[in-house]
Chains A and B, each alone.
Chain A
Amino acid sequence: ETGVTQSPTHLIKTRGQQVTLRCSSQSGHNTVSWYQQALGQGPQFIFQYYREEENGRGNFPPRFSGLQFPNYSSELNVNALELDDSALYLCASSLVSLAGTGANVLTFGAGSRLTVL
């Protein structure tokens, strides 16, 4: 059973650029959620994808967008990068039987650390 893998592990961008982060969910999981963790802070929920559709979103602007693919892997895209976007971006997968119901154990990836200069 494979866990959640994220790529790249580290990257550096400059303000105004765009970035795509990738996440392969754990085998058997159908839901992916993304979190932003600034240095010294707890993670903040960005959004969740279930069956290729966005299913819940946190307080993040539209320049944060995502995709989920038929194999349940996912991408997080951030446009017009700002300095405050520098953070660790965590992906977590879970198995949800019906969107929006219940609570599930999450399996987290190791994260992608983004630095915006």
Chain B
Amino acid sequence: KNEVEQSPQNLTAQEGEFITINCSYSVGISALHWLQQHPGGGIVSLFMLSSGKKKHGRLIATINIQEKHSSLHITASHPRDSAVYICAVNTGTASKLTFGTGTRLQVTL
């Protein structure tokens, strides 16, 4: 069993839909990251959080430390949101991240 599990693996949505991607982890963490990876490989850091909730534009990330679970929400989804969304956790060394396998999101018109 992976230390970081994401669901769903693949997600197709229509423009304007509300999207939720889930991440569960089985280890103690100091922080959880949500990352966005576009075709071609580049990764962008969306959020780093260790408690509560963060919001940036149409993106919202929440974490429940007791339940070892985090969610990434996208409101009013748009085709440009199409990407792979990756959950990763800090489990020790400051920059050592353990990654989930990602959720591939496709938003259609």
Residue interface mask B79-100, A partner, CB < 8 A = 1: 0000000101010111111111
Residues B27-72 near A (CB distance < 8 A)? 30-31, 33, 35, 40-45, 48, 50
A92 to B65 CA separation, bound complex (whole angstroms): 26
Contact at A48–B94, with CB atoms within 8 Å?
A: yes
Chain A residues near B45: list those with CB within 8 A. Answer: 105-108
Q: Answer whether residue A103 sits at the interface, using C-beta atoms and an 8 A cutoff.
A: yes
Measured between C-beta atoms, what is the minimum distance from B7 to chain A in Å? 14
Do B41 and A113 touch across chains, with their CB atoms under 8 A apart? yes
Q: Judging by beta carbons under 8 Å apart, are A108 and B94 in contact?
A: no
Number of interface residues of B (CB under 8 A): 27
Q: Is the beta-carbon distance between B93 and A56 smaller than 8 angstroms? A: yes
CB-contact partner of A111 in B30, B42, B96, under 8 A: B42
Q: In whole Å, how far is B107's beta carbon from the nearest beta carbon of chain A? A: 20
A-B contact pairs, 22 of them (CB 8 A): A31-B94, A35-B97, A41-B101, A42-B88, A42-B99, A42-B102, A43-B88, A43-B97, A45-B96, A45-B97, A48-B94, A56-B93, A56-B96, A88-B41, A100-B93, A104-B95, A105-B33, A105-B45, A106-B45, A108-B42, A108-B45, A110-B41
8 further A-B contacts with Cβ under 8 Å, apart from A37-B41, A108-B42, are A33-B97, A43-B88, A92-B43, A101-B94, A104-B94, A106-B95, A106-B97, A111-B43
Q: Please give the residue numbers on chain A whose beta carbons come within 8 Å of chain B beta carbons, in ascending order.
A: 31, 33, 35, 37, 40-45, 48, 50, 55-56, 58, 88, 90, 92, 94, 96, 99-111, 113
